[in-house]
Amino acid sequence: MEKQILVVDDEKTLVKALKFGLEKEGYQIDAAYDGKEALDKVNNSDNHYDLIILDLMLPEVDGFEVCRTIRKSMDVPIIMLTAKDEDIDKVLGLELGADDYITKPFNTRELTARIKSILRRVETSQEDLKKYINIGDLQIDLLHRRARLRDEEVELTSKEFALLSFFANNAGKVFSREELLEQVWGYNYFGDARTVDVHIRHLREKIEKDPGNPEMIVTVWGTGYKFVENSNA
């Protein structure tokens, strides 16, 4: 079945070009030209999108708010488009739950490569992961992409959940920031390694008893991070 992608951008020329290029790659493309229209399409039960390409600077509702709203109810992969080459925009977009970002102007081949990588990662994780992982008081439901800590639901963004489940499936192993970008974000060298630090900090705030002295996601100085399975969560 063809993957369906929603492209959200108020630049109609860009949308037309992306639609032409991505349809040649075998994707079905739908379009929205402002944030309100995008949310209406996403919330329409007749639509099922496998990925969303979302511009930051949109009329009606900006891309940050669109991303935040979508993440409250679903974990569809989101690639954010930005005309600004500013780290704060990129990091903030990723913190809100975006899976990747790309700065305008960009090469359509690069965007296509990222789309394929993200969709491949999603399919692989759905096929290969166990249904549940229990570590102390932490339960990770991989089928429904939920986590509970001491019987309380933990609100996680899509990327936070992906990072947590990857760690839990590889407990005890040490990963560098670059390896985590490759394994969890699904691409090499496109992302900033600081993105990993941001997501780990947020994860610690949500699952650690004392985020300042983490017991589950621990720092291995000079190398990266590892997940400690026998922690007292």
Residue type, 142: L
Q: All domains of the chain, ordered by start, with CATH?
A: 4-125 (3.40.50.2300), 130-227 (1.10.10.10)
Bridge partners (DSSP) listed for residue 101? 80
Tens digits of per-residue pLDDT, 28-79? Answer: 999 999 999 999 999 887 888 999 999 988 999 999 899 989 987 787 899 9
pLDDT tens per residue across span 82-112: 876 655 566 566 677 788 888 888 888 889 9
**Over the stretch 170-222, which tens digit does the pLDDT of each residue have?**
888 999 988 888 888 775 445 567 888 999 999 999 999 999 999 999 999 98
Q: What integer pLDDT is reported at residue 96 of this predicted model?
A: 74
